[in-house]
Structure 1
Amino acid sequence: MPCVLTQVCSGFEQRFAEFAFEPGFAAAVDQHVAEIRERLGATAPGLEPAAPDRGALVDYALGFTDALAETGWREPVGHDYAVCRLTALSWLVRRHSMAGPRGA
């Protein structure tokens, strides 16, 4: 079974291309990245925020995707809260090279 972080990235990192022509989406994802960092305590002084703890990010992603599955959420054509959040998770994973091996 693939890692939840790898699954989220494979489903949402292609949305990074939309940042170039949808600045509102890029800004929304940036806000979600900041909220996730804050929620997981990944703050640090200086210009470069600290990487979130991988285990905490995995737990957060599992909880979020489980909640989406329980509500029957389906990815819309546009951008809703969940798309922004999942794209933000993907961005954090790729930025900090956290996509683990299968089963991790």
Structure 2
Amino acid sequence: MVFEEGWAVSPLRWLMNTLGDAQLARMHGDPGLVAAVDQHAAVLRDAIPLDRETLGDYLLGFLDELRERAWVFTGEPDAAALRLTAVCWLAREEGFLEDGLPA
């Protein structure tokens, strides 16, 4: 993943533009992907309060860990990509990206 300048100001929007839109579109034709993303979303729902700030903070921490590991998104649904897709799905479902505010 390429981290453009300012990505941390609006991490949910950045992630949606970088990975989320394409991954969420793939879910429409792939029930296995839907199930895997749903499992990751359930883990997040149980682990953190679902508000814009907390989900954004979680994402920043998760991305820091991925950067330390030199993780690269290959397009394959590995565990990290599934978790990132779940973050995007939750942000969209909760309406965190609709109002134009930094997210």
Q: Specify the TM-score bucket, using the shorter chain as the normaliser.
A: 0.7 to 0.9
AA aligned opposite 1:35: V
Q: Which residue of 2 aligns with 1:82?
A: 80
User: What runs of 5+ residues in structure 2 fail to find an aligned partner?
Assistant: 1-5
Aligned to 1:21: 29
> For residue 9 of structure 1, what is the amino acid of its counterpart?
M
Higher Rg of the two aligned structures: 1
How far residue 34 of structure 1 moved from its aligned partner, in angstroms, is: 0.7
> What residue is the counterpart of 2:10 in the other structure?
3
Tell me how far apart the structure 2 counterparts of residues 57 and 66 of structure 1 sit (CA, whole Å).
Answer: 14
Tell whether 2:66 aligns with 1:68: yes
Counterpart secondary structure, 1:91: helix
Separation in 2 of the partners of 1:19 and 1:75?
Answer: 17
- Alignment correspondent of 1:38: 46
Tell me the distance in 2 between the aligned counterparts of 1:26 and 1:62. Answer: 24
CA positional deviation for 1:29: 0.2
Q: Cα deviation per residue 1:7-35 (whole Å; 9 max; x = unaligned)?
A: 11112222112112221111000011111
In the TM superposition, residue 74 of structure 1 has moved relative to its aligned partner by 0.4
Greater relative contact order structure (CA < 8 Å, 6+ sep): 1
The number of residue pairs the alignment matches comes to 93
Counterpart of 1:101 in structure 2 is 101
Q: Is the 8 A contact 1:13 1:91 kept in 2?
A: no
Runs of 4 or more, structure 1, over 4 Å off, are none
State the percentage of identical aligned residues. 38
Range with greater deviation from structure 2 (14-23 or 60-69)? 14-23
